[in-house]
Amino acid sequence: MLRGGIIGAGFFSGNHLNAWAMVEGAEIVALCDTDPKRLSKMGDAFGIEARYSDAAEMLDSENLDFVDIITTAPTHRPLVELAISKDVHVICQKPFAETLEDARAMVRAVEMAGKTLMVHENFRWQSPVRTVIDAVRSGTIGTPFFCRAAFRSGYDVFSGQPYLAEGKRFIIEDLGIHVLDIVRALMGDVTRVAAHTNRINPEINGEDVATILLSHESGVASVVDCSYATRRVPETFPETLLEIDGDAGSLYLKSGYRMEVHVDGKVETRDVSPPVLSWAERPWHNIQESVAIIQKHFVESLAKGVAPETSGKDNLQTLTLVEAAYRSAAEKRTIETSEL
Protein backbone atom coordinates (compact mmCIF):
# COMPACT_ATOMS: atom_id res chain seq x y z
CA MET A 1 0.00 0.00 0.00
CA LEU A 2 1.47 3.38 -1.06
CA ARG A 3 1.57 5.99 1.73
CA GLY A 4 0.62 9.46 0.57
CA GLY A 5 0.74 12.90 2.17
CA ILE A 6 -1.39 15.82 1.02
CA ILE A 7 -0.04 19.37 0.91
CA GLY A 8 -2.87 21.93 0.72
CA ALA A 9 -6.22 21.52 2.49
CA GLY A 10 -8.17 24.24 0.69
CA PHE A 11 -11.20 24.44 -1.65
CA PHE A 12 -10.38 21.51 -3.96
CA SER A 13 -8.63 19.17 -1.52
CA GLY A 14 -11.83 17.49 -0.28
CA ASN A 15 -12.29 16.08 -3.78
CA HIS A 16 -8.79 14.57 -3.70
CA LEU A 17 -9.38 13.10 -0.24
CA ASN A 18 -12.76 11.61 -1.17
CA ALA A 19 -11.27 10.20 -4.36
CA TRP A 20 -8.22 8.71 -2.61
CA ALA A 21 -10.61 6.71 -0.40
CA MET A 22 -11.81 4.97 -3.59
CA VAL A 23 -8.37 4.20 -5.04
CA GLU A 24 -6.94 0.77 -4.29
CA GLY A 25 -3.25 0.55 -3.52
CA ALA A 26 -2.80 3.97 -1.88
CA GLU A 27 -3.88 5.68 1.31
CA ILE A 28 -3.49 9.21 2.63
CA VAL A 29 -1.75 9.08 5.99
CA ALA A 30 -0.81 12.72 6.59
CA LEU A 31 -2.05 16.20 5.83
CA CYS A 32 -0.26 19.54 5.68
CA ASP A 33 -1.50 23.13 5.44
CA THR A 34 0.02 26.38 6.63
CA ASP A 35 -3.48 27.54 7.63
CA PRO A 36 -4.37 25.89 10.97
CA LYS A 37 -8.16 26.28 10.49
CA ARG A 38 -8.14 24.56 7.12
CA LEU A 39 -5.83 21.88 8.45
CA SER A 40 -8.06 20.97 11.36
CA LYS A 41 -11.29 21.21 9.35
CA MET A 42 -10.04 18.85 6.64
CA GLY A 43 -8.18 16.59 9.09
CA ASP A 44 -11.36 16.19 11.17
CA ALA A 45 -13.56 15.63 8.12
CA PHE A 46 -11.38 12.78 6.85
CA GLY A 47 -10.10 11.41 10.18
CA ILE A 48 -6.43 12.14 9.45
CA GLU A 49 -4.52 12.47 12.72
CA ALA A 50 -1.04 13.20 11.34
CA ARG A 51 -1.25 16.95 10.66
CA TYR A 52 1.55 19.38 9.83
CA SER A 53 1.89 23.09 9.17
CA ASP A 54 5.24 22.52 7.48
CA ALA A 55 5.71 20.23 4.49
CA ALA A 56 9.39 19.51 5.25
CA GLU A 57 8.43 18.36 8.74
CA MET A 58 5.74 16.07 7.30
CA LEU A 59 8.22 14.57 4.85
CA ASP A 60 10.82 14.06 7.60
CA SER A 61 8.37 12.51 10.07
CA GLU A 62 6.19 10.29 7.90
CA ASN A 63 7.48 7.43 5.80
CA LEU A 64 5.79 8.60 2.57
CA ASP A 65 5.90 7.13 -0.95
CA PHE A 66 4.32 10.19 -2.57
CA VAL A 67 2.90 13.65 -1.94
CA ASP A 68 -0.19 15.13 -3.59
CA ILE A 69 0.29 18.90 -3.89
CA ILE A 70 -3.03 20.80 -3.94
CA THR A 71 -1.79 24.36 -3.50
CA THR A 72 -1.91 27.17 -6.06
CA ALA A 73 0.82 27.61 -8.70
CA PRO A 74 3.25 30.00 -6.93
CA THR A 75 4.12 27.31 -4.36
CA HIS A 76 4.48 24.40 -6.80
CA ARG A 77 8.19 24.69 -7.62
CA PRO A 78 9.46 24.93 -4.01
CA LEU A 79 7.12 22.14 -2.88
CA VAL A 80 7.97 19.82 -5.80
CA GLU A 81 11.70 20.42 -5.26
CA LEU A 82 11.30 19.76 -1.55
CA ALA A 83 9.46 16.49 -2.19
CA ILE A 84 12.07 15.35 -4.72
CA SER A 85 14.87 16.15 -2.23
CA LYS A 86 13.10 13.80 0.22
CA ASP A 87 12.96 11.02 -2.41
CA VAL A 88 9.18 10.70 -2.88
CA HIS A 89 7.01 10.62 -6.01
CA VAL A 90 4.85 13.69 -6.67
CA ILE A 91 1.44 14.66 -7.95
CA CYS A 92 1.13 18.39 -8.56
CA GLN A 93 -2.12 20.22 -9.31
CA LYS A 94 -2.42 22.33 -12.43
CA PRO A 95 -1.34 24.96 -13.44
CA PHE A 96 1.97 23.13 -13.04
CA ALA A 97 3.91 26.42 -12.86
CA GLU A 98 3.59 30.15 -13.40
CA THR A 99 6.44 30.09 -15.91
CA LEU A 100 7.92 27.60 -18.35
CA GLU A 101 11.29 28.14 -16.68
CA ASP A 102 9.93 26.85 -13.35
CA ALA A 103 8.20 23.92 -15.04
CA ARG A 104 11.34 22.91 -16.91
CA ALA A 105 13.40 23.12 -13.70
CA MET A 106 10.93 20.81 -11.91
CA VAL A 107 11.00 18.28 -14.75
CA ARG A 108 14.83 18.30 -14.75
CA ALA A 109 14.92 17.78 -10.96
CA VAL A 110 12.49 14.85 -11.16
CA GLU A 111 14.38 13.21 -14.02
CA MET A 112 17.71 13.52 -12.18
CA ALA A 113 16.18 11.97 -9.06
CA GLY A 114 14.51 9.16 -11.01
CA LYS A 115 11.12 9.88 -9.42
CA THR A 116 7.66 10.08 -11.00
CA LEU A 117 5.87 13.42 -11.29
CA MET A 118 2.27 13.57 -12.54
CA VAL A 119 0.52 16.86 -13.13
CA HIS A 120 -3.07 16.58 -11.92
CA GLU A 121 -4.43 17.54 -15.37
CA ASN A 122 -7.74 15.76 -14.98
CA PHE A 123 -10.04 17.12 -17.71
CA ARG A 124 -8.76 14.63 -20.32
CA TRP A 125 -9.83 11.93 -17.80
CA GLN A 126 -13.46 13.10 -17.54
CA SER A 127 -15.34 10.00 -18.67
CA PRO A 128 -17.38 11.75 -21.42
CA VAL A 129 -14.22 13.39 -22.80
CA ARG A 130 -12.35 10.09 -22.54
CA THR A 131 -15.06 8.33 -24.54
CA VAL A 132 -14.54 10.85 -27.34
CA ILE A 133 -10.71 10.54 -27.14
CA ASP A 134 -10.98 6.74 -27.39
CA ALA A 135 -13.41 6.96 -30.34
CA VAL A 136 -11.16 9.36 -32.26
CA ARG A 137 -8.01 7.32 -31.53
CA SER A 138 -9.71 4.13 -32.69
CA GLY A 139 -10.52 5.69 -36.07
CA THR A 140 -14.32 5.98 -35.73
CA ILE A 141 -14.38 9.12 -37.91
CA GLY A 142 -11.28 8.33 -39.97
CA THR A 143 -8.42 10.82 -39.99
CA PRO A 144 -9.40 14.06 -38.20
CA PHE A 145 -8.82 17.42 -39.86
CA PHE A 146 -10.70 19.84 -37.55
CA CYS A 147 -11.41 20.07 -33.82
CA ARG A 148 -13.31 22.60 -31.78
CA ALA A 149 -13.26 22.47 -27.97
CA ALA A 150 -15.53 24.97 -26.27
CA PHE A 151 -16.05 25.82 -22.62
CA ARG A 152 -18.53 28.68 -22.28
CA SER A 153 -20.20 29.48 -18.98
CA GLY A 154 -21.40 32.18 -16.61
CA TYR A 155 -20.90 30.06 -13.47
CA ASP A 156 -19.58 31.94 -10.45
CA VAL A 157 -16.20 30.31 -9.89
CA PHE A 158 -14.96 33.24 -7.80
CA SER A 159 -16.93 32.50 -4.63
CA GLY A 160 -15.18 29.13 -4.15
CA GLN A 161 -11.84 30.21 -5.61
CA PRO A 162 -11.42 33.97 -4.87
CA TYR A 163 -7.79 33.90 -6.09
CA LEU A 164 -9.15 33.47 -9.64
CA ALA A 165 -10.39 37.08 -9.60
CA GLU A 166 -7.09 38.46 -8.32
CA GLY A 167 -4.41 37.30 -10.75
CA LYS A 168 -3.34 39.24 -13.88
CA ARG A 169 -4.07 36.02 -15.76
CA PHE A 170 -7.34 34.13 -15.45
CA ILE A 171 -9.18 31.98 -17.96
CA ILE A 172 -6.37 30.64 -20.13
CA GLU A 173 -4.16 29.83 -17.15
CA ASP A 174 -6.90 28.29 -15.01
CA LEU A 175 -9.43 26.75 -17.38
CA GLY A 176 -8.10 27.10 -20.92
CA ILE A 177 -5.14 25.01 -19.79
CA HIS A 178 -7.52 22.04 -19.34
CA VAL A 179 -9.17 22.57 -22.72
CA LEU A 180 -5.81 22.97 -24.48
CA ASP A 181 -4.73 19.71 -22.85
CA ILE A 182 -7.86 17.92 -24.10
CA VAL A 183 -7.12 19.14 -27.62
CA ARG A 184 -3.53 17.86 -27.32
CA ALA A 185 -4.87 14.47 -26.20
CA LEU A 186 -7.15 14.44 -29.25
CA MET A 187 -5.04 16.00 -31.99
CA GLY A 188 -1.42 15.87 -30.80
CA ASP A 189 1.17 18.57 -30.38
CA VAL A 190 0.97 22.07 -31.78
CA THR A 191 3.28 24.20 -33.91
CA ARG A 192 1.47 27.59 -34.07
CA VAL A 193 -0.92 29.51 -31.81
CA ALA A 194 -2.99 32.66 -32.41
CA ALA A 195 -5.15 34.01 -29.59
CA HIS A 196 -7.55 36.84 -28.82
CA THR A 197 -8.60 37.66 -25.25
CA ASN A 198 -11.19 39.91 -23.60
CA ARG A 199 -12.13 40.90 -20.07
CA ILE A 200 -15.91 41.31 -19.74
CA ASN A 201 -16.34 41.11 -15.94
CA PRO A 202 -15.04 44.45 -14.57
CA GLU A 203 -14.58 43.00 -11.09
CA ILE A 204 -11.70 40.70 -11.98
CA ASN A 205 -8.14 41.45 -13.05
CA GLY A 206 -7.53 38.86 -15.74
CA GLU A 207 -9.12 37.89 -19.05
CA ASP A 208 -12.39 35.93 -18.86
CA VAL A 209 -12.80 35.21 -22.58
CA ALA A 210 -10.23 33.58 -24.87
CA THR A 211 -10.45 32.42 -28.47
CA ILE A 212 -7.45 30.41 -29.63
CA LEU A 213 -6.54 28.96 -33.06
CA LEU A 214 -4.03 26.08 -33.05
CA SER A 215 -2.11 24.45 -35.93
CA HIS A 216 -1.07 20.90 -35.02
CA GLU A 217 2.03 19.02 -36.18
CA SER A 218 -0.35 16.63 -37.96
CA GLY A 219 -1.80 19.46 -40.07
CA VAL A 220 -5.08 19.51 -38.10
CA ALA A 221 -6.54 22.91 -37.15
CA SER A 222 -8.23 23.34 -33.76
CA VAL A 223 -10.21 26.12 -32.14
CA VAL A 224 -10.27 26.38 -28.35
CA ASP A 225 -12.82 28.88 -27.10
CA CYS A 226 -13.40 29.62 -23.43
CA SER A 227 -15.59 32.09 -21.61
CA TYR A 228 -16.78 32.77 -18.09
CA ALA A 229 -18.86 35.70 -19.35
CA THR A 230 -21.45 33.67 -21.28
CA ARG A 231 -25.03 33.81 -20.00
CA ARG A 232 -26.92 30.94 -21.53
CA VAL A 233 -29.60 28.42 -20.77
CA PRO A 234 -28.91 25.72 -19.95
CA GLU A 235 -25.76 26.69 -18.06
CA THR A 236 -23.23 24.05 -19.09
CA PHE A 237 -20.55 24.42 -16.37
CA PRO A 238 -18.25 22.48 -16.27
CA GLU A 239 -18.78 20.76 -19.61
CA THR A 240 -16.27 20.95 -22.45
CA LEU A 241 -18.18 20.66 -25.72
CA LEU A 242 -16.39 19.03 -28.64
CA GLU A 243 -16.85 18.99 -32.40
CA ILE A 244 -14.42 16.93 -34.49
CA ASP A 245 -14.49 16.38 -38.24
CA GLY A 246 -12.65 13.45 -39.82
CA ASP A 247 -12.47 12.22 -43.41
CA ALA A 248 -14.97 9.44 -42.57
CA GLY A 249 -17.39 11.27 -40.26
CA SER A 250 -17.96 13.74 -37.46
CA LEU A 251 -18.15 13.39 -33.72
CA TYR A 252 -19.78 15.74 -31.22
CA LEU A 253 -19.90 15.98 -27.44
CA LYS A 254 -22.96 18.16 -26.92
CA SER A 255 -24.42 19.76 -23.79
CA GLY A 256 -25.99 17.34 -21.34
CA TYR A 257 -23.20 14.83 -22.09
CA ARG A 258 -24.70 13.66 -25.39
CA MET A 259 -22.21 12.15 -27.80
CA GLU A 260 -23.17 12.01 -31.48
CA VAL A 261 -21.29 10.02 -34.11
CA HIS A 262 -22.14 10.93 -37.70
CA VAL A 263 -20.85 8.22 -40.05
CA ASP A 264 -22.20 6.83 -43.37
CA GLY A 265 -25.14 9.25 -43.37
CA LYS A 266 -26.38 7.96 -40.00
CA VAL A 267 -26.34 9.52 -36.54
CA GLU A 268 -25.67 7.44 -33.45
CA THR A 269 -26.47 9.26 -30.19
CA ARG A 270 -25.15 8.07 -26.82
CA ASP A 271 -25.70 9.34 -23.30
CA VAL A 272 -22.16 9.53 -21.88
CA SER A 273 -23.12 11.27 -18.62
CA PRO A 274 -20.59 10.77 -15.85
CA PRO A 275 -21.83 9.04 -12.69
CA VAL A 276 -22.56 11.16 -9.61
CA LEU A 277 -20.26 9.44 -7.10
CA SER A 278 -21.61 9.03 -3.56
CA TRP A 279 -19.60 12.03 -2.30
CA ALA A 280 -20.03 14.17 -5.45
CA GLU A 281 -22.50 16.93 -6.21
CA ARG A 282 -23.85 18.42 -9.42
CA PRO A 283 -22.58 20.21 -11.45
CA TRP A 284 -19.08 19.32 -10.18
CA HIS A 285 -19.62 15.53 -10.48
CA ASN A 286 -17.94 15.43 -13.89
CA ILE A 287 -14.74 16.95 -12.50
CA GLN A 288 -14.98 14.96 -9.27
CA GLU A 289 -15.14 11.61 -11.09
CA SER A 290 -12.07 12.57 -13.12
CA VAL A 291 -10.10 13.22 -9.92
CA ALA A 292 -10.63 9.60 -8.86
CA ILE A 293 -9.75 8.34 -12.36
CA ILE A 294 -6.48 10.27 -12.61
CA GLN A 295 -5.42 9.24 -9.09
CA LYS A 296 -6.05 5.59 -10.02
CA HIS A 297 -3.98 6.16 -13.18
CA PHE A 298 -1.09 7.48 -11.03
CA VAL A 299 -1.10 4.38 -8.81
CA GLU A 300 -1.31 2.06 -11.84
CA SER A 301 1.52 3.92 -13.59
CA LEU A 302 3.78 3.54 -10.55
CA ALA A 303 2.92 -0.18 -10.33
CA LYS A 304 3.76 -0.66 -14.02
CA GLY A 305 6.87 1.52 -13.85
CA VAL A 306 5.64 3.76 -16.70
CA ALA A 307 5.21 7.53 -16.91
CA PRO A 308 1.67 8.78 -16.27
CA GLU A 309 -0.05 10.24 -19.33
CA THR A 310 0.14 13.76 -17.89
CA SER A 311 3.71 13.54 -16.57
CA GLY A 312 5.56 16.77 -15.83
CA LYS A 313 7.41 16.33 -19.13
CA ASP A 314 4.18 15.91 -21.08
CA ASN A 315 2.62 18.90 -19.36
CA LEU A 316 5.43 21.18 -20.62
CA GLN A 317 3.66 20.99 -24.00
CA THR A 318 0.34 22.11 -22.51
CA LEU A 319 2.01 24.94 -20.57
CA THR A 320 3.76 26.03 -23.78
CA LEU A 321 0.31 26.51 -25.35
CA VAL A 322 -0.78 28.63 -22.39
CA GLU A 323 2.31 30.84 -22.70
CA ALA A 324 1.98 31.03 -26.47
CA ALA A 325 -1.68 32.08 -26.18
CA TYR A 326 -0.84 34.90 -23.75
CA ARG A 327 2.05 36.07 -25.89
CA SER A 328 -0.04 35.93 -29.05
CA ALA A 329 -2.84 37.99 -27.47
CA ALA A 330 -0.38 40.55 -26.05
CA GLU A 331 1.70 40.93 -29.22
CA LYS A 332 -1.22 40.48 -31.65
CA ARG A 333 0.65 37.94 -33.76
CA THR A 334 0.85 34.22 -34.37
CA ILE A 335 3.39 32.46 -32.13
CA GLU A 336 5.48 29.47 -33.21
CA THR A 337 5.67 27.13 -30.22
CA SER A 338 9.38 26.67 -31.01
CA GLU A 339 9.87 30.33 -29.93
CA LEU A 340 9.17 29.39 -26.30
User: Minimal CA–CA distance to 40: which of 25, 53, 27, 26?
Assistant: 53
CB neighbour burial string for 88-106, b if at least 16 within 10 angstroms, e if fewer: bbbbbbbbbbbebebbeeb
Measured from each CB, the residue nearest to ligand NAD is 10
Number of residues that bind ligand 89V (CB under 6 A): 7
Strand 26-32 and strand 50-52: the pairing is parallel
User: Minimal CA–CA distance to 222: which of 259, 252, 187, 195?
Assistant: 187
Number of residues that bind ligand NAD (CB under 6 A): 27
User: How does DSSP assign 79-117, residue by residue?
Assistant: HHHHHHHTT-EEEEESS--SSHHHHHHHHHHHHHHT--E
238 binds ligand 89V (CB under 6 A): yes
Could you say which of ligand 89V, ligand NAD, none residue 238 binds, taking C-beta under 5 to 8 angstroms by partner kind? ligand 89V
For residue 5, what are the contacts with CB-CB under 8 A and spacing of at least 6? Answer: 28, 29, 30, 31, 32, 58, 59, 62, 64, 66, 67, 68
Please report how close the Cβ of residue 82 comes to ligand NAD at its closest, in angstroms.
9
Binds ligand NAD (CB under 6 A): choice among 2, 7, 259, 329: 7
175 binds ligand 89V (CB under 6 A): yes
Please report how close the Cβ of residue 124 comes to ligand 89V at its closest, in angstroms.
12
174 binds ligand 89V (CB under 6 A): yes
Q: How far is CA 223 from CA 45, 49, 129, 273, 313, in A?
A: 42, 47, 16, 24, 24
Please report how close the Cβ of residue 269 comes to ligand 89V at its closest, in angstroms.
26
40 binds ligand NAD (CB under 6 A): no
122 binds ligand NAD (CB under 6 A): yes
Which residues between 158 and 197 bind ligand NAD (CB under 6 A)? 161, 163, 174
Site residues (vs ligand 89V, CB under 6 A): 157, 161, 174-175, 178, 238, 287
Site residues (vs ligand NAD, CB under 6 A): 7-13, 32-35, 38, 55, 70-73, 75, 79, 93-94, 120, 122, 161, 163, 174, 287
